[in-house]
């Protein structure tokens, strides 16, 4: 599992656009992208489940416990999980770098379609995170090149 990249406002806008598309395509209520620490990074649709931060934290804990339980029985962790509640289905999908995609939809939604659109969304989210990684790696290369050249302000002698 790679390190989770630092996100800037333009990155969050991309993530939210992807999540809003997922909500529209799957007839969902909301989609949440949760980082490996259990914090909501981006949201699509309208979350109406009370305290969003608490929900994200609990969804993250639920997923990690399911992974541990699967490991106890020497089984592969589930690729996804549907949790039926009174009026809502919660779909949990593991995403890139230990993050989690959570989709909330009406209990009469077609779960196969929710799953299909979630898989497509996961690929798009991974593309965005990979772009961020590439951008940050380029920034580090530039910073290293500048450091290797030494100070360049006026009056400073250049390295021999």
**pLDDT tens per residue, range 43-84:** 999 888 778 889 888 888 888 887 777 767 666 655 667 676
Residue 22 lies in a domain: yes
Residue 159 lies in a domain: no
Residue 156 lies in a domain: no
Q: Strands of 40-45's sheet, edge to edge? A: 40-45, 28-34, 100-106, 88-94, 81-84
Residue 154 lies in a domain: no
Q: Report the mean per-residue pLDDT for the chain.
A: 80
According to DSSP, the residues that pair with 106 across neighbouring strands are 88
Q: What are phi and psi of 28, to 5 degrees?
A: -85, 175
Please tell me the distance from the alpha carbon of residue 144 to that of residue 160, in angstroms, as a whole number: 18
Which pLDDT score is estimated for 153? Answer: 59
* Residues with Cβ within 8 Å of residue 43, at least 6 apart in sequence: 16, 19, 30, 31, 32, 33, 52
Residue 148 lies in a domain: no
Residue 4 lies in a domain: no
Which pLDDT score is estimated for 21? Answer: 94
Residue 123 lies in a domain: yes
Number of domains in the chain: 1
Residue 18 lies in a domain: yes
Q: What is the pTM of this model?
A: 0.75
Q: What is the dihedral of CA 51, 28, 113, 81, to 10 degrees?
A: 10
According to DSSP, the residues that pair with 104 across neighbouring strands are 30, 90
Please tell me the distance from the alpha carbon of residue 108 to that of residue 30, in angstroms, as a whole number: 15
Of 25-29, 92-96, 135-139, give the lowest mean pLDDT range.
Answer: 92-96
Domain containing 131 equals 9-143
What is the share, in percent, of the chain residues with pLDDT greater than 70? 77
- Please check the confidence at residue 143 and state whether its pLDDT lies above 60: yes
What is the share, in percent, of the chain residues with pLDDT greater than 90? 18
Distances (CA, A) of 153 to 24, 54, 142: 53, 50, 17
CATH number of the domain to which 29 belongs: 3.30.450.30
Please tell me the distance from the alpha carbon of residue 158 to that of residue 160, in angstroms, as a whole number: 6
Q: What are phi and psi of 93, to 5 degrees?
A: -130, 130
- Please check the confidence at residue 1 and state whether its pLDDT lies above 50: no
């Amino acid at each position: 599992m790679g390190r989770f990249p630092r996100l800037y406002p333009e990155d969050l806008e991309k993530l939210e656009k992807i999540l809003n598309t997922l909500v529209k395509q799957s007839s969902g209520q909301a989609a949440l992208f949760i980082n490996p620490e259990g914090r909501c990074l981006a949201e699509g649709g309208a979350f109406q489940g009370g305290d969003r931060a608490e929900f994200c934290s609990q969804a993250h804990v639920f997923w990690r416990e399911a992974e541990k339980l699967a490991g106890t029985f020497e089984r592969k962790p589930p690729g996804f999980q549907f949790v039926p509640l009174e009026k809502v289905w919660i779909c949990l999908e593991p995403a890139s770098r230990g993050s989690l995609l959570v989709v909330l939809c009406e209990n009469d939604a077609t779960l196969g379609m929710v799953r299909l659109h979630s898989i497509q969304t996961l690929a798009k989210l991974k593309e965005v995170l990979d772009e961020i990684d590439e951008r940050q790696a380029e920034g580090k290369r530039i910073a290293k090149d500048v450091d290797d050249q030494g100070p360049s302000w006026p009056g400073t002698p250049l390295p021999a």
